[in-house]
Structure 1
Amino acid sequence: ADAADAARSAADTAANRAARLDSLQRDLTGALSAWAPVRDDLEVAARIASFSEGKSSDNQLQMSLSAYVVAYRLTQVVAAANERLAKMSDQRYALEHSAAKGAGDRRGGLALMVRDDWSGESRDPATLSGGETFVVSLALAVGLADVIMNEAGGQMLDTLFVDEGFGSLDADTLDDVLDVLDTLREGGRIIGVVSHVTEMRERIPTQLAVAKGRDGSTLHVVGV
């Protein structure tokens, strides 16, 4: 009799547990069904995020979306810069945009190389001399201004200031650079040049001279 009572009690307990488990299973199945669309959306979002960050194997360039957009803009800047650089370097140098990773570029797409048409080789901009670096930088700055102007519906960037760097140029390169700046000035832009190079006084008609003194600096306009 005791064994029968114990067996009935165990059977009741097992039946209650089975009913509870069956109820929990139905709840879990319903919850999983309700969560399935969210889970699918999460997987899609995770794949898109990985792809846009350049971490997905599907991203052949291994380039983030932001870097890709900037790289596209950079190609436009390089194209505009090369028009100026060819004139300033006597048709020697041209910039090349590379999808390879550059120094400090974790995702690639923003590297630049300098093609030397005299030697037929491309090299890292870090190998340029001080004067060559200045010319390339100036060409990029002017190219960027041209691209911004086009993006702004043709609205002119009226003023451009170039601070120093001319002292590192040889006489021929200095003439080429000033010719380009004169072209920009003739196109309606105001070009301001900050320099200590004596030769530039002969090429710049209007000057704002700064004279140092014990009591401070004084300004006077030359050529007006």
Structure 2
Amino acid sequence: MMVEPTGPVLEARNLHAHRSGAHILRGIDLAVRRGEVKAIIGGAQSGKSTLLRTLMGMITPSAGEVLINGRSVEGYPAHAIAELGAAFVPQTRRVFGRLTVYENIVMGRSASAGRSKAAWGAERIFEIFPKLRDIQDCIADEVDSDQRQFLTIARSLFTGPCLLMLDDPAVGLSPNAISELARALVRLRDDGVAVLFTERESSLMEGVEPAVFVMDAGRLVDVDGRFCVLASA
């Protein structure tokens, strides 16, 4: 059963960020609620990766604030934001290559150690990514690129997050894998997880049907072309 969205799990208010002296994020306002999926489309250098990294505490904003479940996370490092229930999957798709698929998944246990909410466990994750069950005893370095991407997402889910952020998760995936990923994101949405992902194109849109925004010069633009934020530089 689909979970009705409630208050924001993630909220950004007038968020600005600079990198190497360049003004990358220019007044971002964004909210993602429980059981809601939002997607941000943008090309290289559009600022979408910087946005996710700033939301996760990996880049310090120069102005504005980020809230997780209504709590300001100003000054929080990434691991402290993770303890509040946020999970971030970057583009790198790094795995522990000499460990098995199953061992990689349960490595997420350490990230959930400081949280009162129980981790999901491997069985629940296998329900979302069933092909990982079939290869759980395989060495991670030996699985194909599609399954490697599913594995990186699965490891982040072991923490039982309330918020999942993914940076370009469909890049390099086969069409079948993109369909599988779309089904997984829909399942997570229906389970009440707030999902925010970025895309260079629109390969995941049909299967997930998220609320879509375009990142343009550090600002978010909705699909009708209206600026959602018009903060000054």
Please say whether Structure 1 and Structure 2 have the same fold, judged by a TM-score greater than 0.5: no
Structure 2-normalised TM-score?
A: 0.40
**Structure (1 or 2) with the greater strand fraction:** 2
**Structure (1 or 2) with the greater helix fraction:** 1
Greater relative contact order (Cα < 8 A, sep 6+): 2
Structure 1-normalised TM-score?
A: 0.41
Structure having the higher Rg: 1
